[in-house]
Chains A and B, each alone.
Chain A
Amino acid sequence: MREDKGKRKPKMKGKKKFTRIRERRCRFTRLKVDLIDWKDTNTLQRLCTGQGKLLGRKRSGNSARFQRILRTAIKRARFMGLLPYVGA
């Protein structure tokens, strides 16, 4: 029996754990907001393309929950003439 056996680090079982803490991609989740204000055209505009289309989740990084809330907010802003339906 080898003397240093007891000093050895125990072998990791399975895959190495991923320890790096990733920042949340969804800015609304990260900021812990309760709602998205449909009157906040600056933020809403940022989440639309130049043509006025809503950015996809892959592009904006929004969580499913906030993407749904954002969709409603953008539609309300469009109805009131704050955001364009099409074009800029």
Chain B
Amino acid sequence: MYPYEGMFLVDPVLHTGDPDGIEKTVSGLLEKHGARIHQFSRWDDRKLAYEIKGHKRGIYLLAHFEMPGGNVDALRKESRLTECILRQLVLRLEQPIPQYLEAVAAYHDKMRQDQDLRRPGRRDDEDGDGDIDMLDVDGDGDSDDSYRN
């Protein structure tokens, strides 16, 4: 069993129709290949930087799981064949999942404290509080940084 981080870009149209069903399809796919899921999260619907399989928007599902190394190829192959998954990226982590998640949280904390980024009156600090305003990529008025928790 090795630690992995997997990101799956799913079709927003199918996801809106049946959000739980799509998420279950993806988590079921992982479990089918012997994965033990540690964390499973969903990002908000966001605009893609370029069109992927004719879609301009997409929903990202992020999973951290442990899985036997031999099953990864089969998982990649099957997720390519799954209709609702537009794109997937499975990465082997260098450290165990809890440590990795801690390191990522520490990284985000440090980046937030960065003096360069906290200079008030910057272009992306419209409210002038010295904090970074989250980018609103899809222009629907809310912040798109659902990853931050």
Pick from B58, B107, B116: contact of A37, CB below 8 A. B107
Please report the C-alpha to C-alpha distance between residue A27 and residue B58 in the assembled complex, in whole angstroms. 31
Question: B103 touching A34 by the CB < 8 A rule?
Answer: yes
Q: Is B15 an interface residue (CB 8 A)?
A: no
- A23-B88 Cα distance, complex, nearest whole Å: 40
> Within the assembled complex, what's the spacing in Å between the Cα atoms of A85 and B49?
8
Q: Which residues of A contact B106 (CB under 8 A)?
A: 33-34
| Residues of B contacting A45 in the complex (Cβ-Cβ under 8 angstroms) | 135
| CB-CB nearest in chain A for B113 | A31
Within 8 A of B (CB), among A56-88: 76, 78-85
Please give the number of chain A residues whose Cβ is less than 8 angstroms from any Cβ of chain B in the complex: 23
Q: What residues of A have a CB within 8 angstroms of the CB of B134 in the complex?
A: 42
Check: B92 CB closer than 8 A to any chain A CB: no
User: Do B58 and A81 touch across chains, with their CB atoms under 8 A apart?
Assistant: yes
Interface residues on B, range: 20 to 34
Partner of B48, one of A33, A36, A76, A81: A81
A79-B87, A80-B87, A81-B87 are known contacts. Are A33 and B110 too (CB-CB below 8 A)? yes
What A residues does B84 contact at CB under 8 A? none
In the assembled complex, the Cα of A34 lies from the Cα of B108 at a distance in Å of: 11
In the complex, are the beta carbons of A84 and B114 less than 8 A apart?
no
Q: Does B62 contact A (CB under 8 A)?
A: yes
A82 to B104, CA, bound (A): 18
A32 proximal to B (CB < 8 A): yes
* A-binding residues in B (CB < 8 A): 7, 9, 48-50, 52, 58, 60, 62, 87, 89, 91, 103-104, 106-108, 110-111, 113-114, 116, 132, 134-135, 145, 147
5 A-B Cβ contacts within 8 A? Answer: A27-B116, A34-B106, A37-B108, A80-B9, A84-B49
Closest 3 CB pairs of A and B: A81-B48, A84-B49, A31-B110
10 further contact pairs, Cβ within 8 A, besides A34-B103, A80-B89, A84-B49: A32-B110, A33-B111, A36-B107, A43-B111, A45-B135, A80-B7, A80-B87, A81-B9, A81-B52, A82-B49
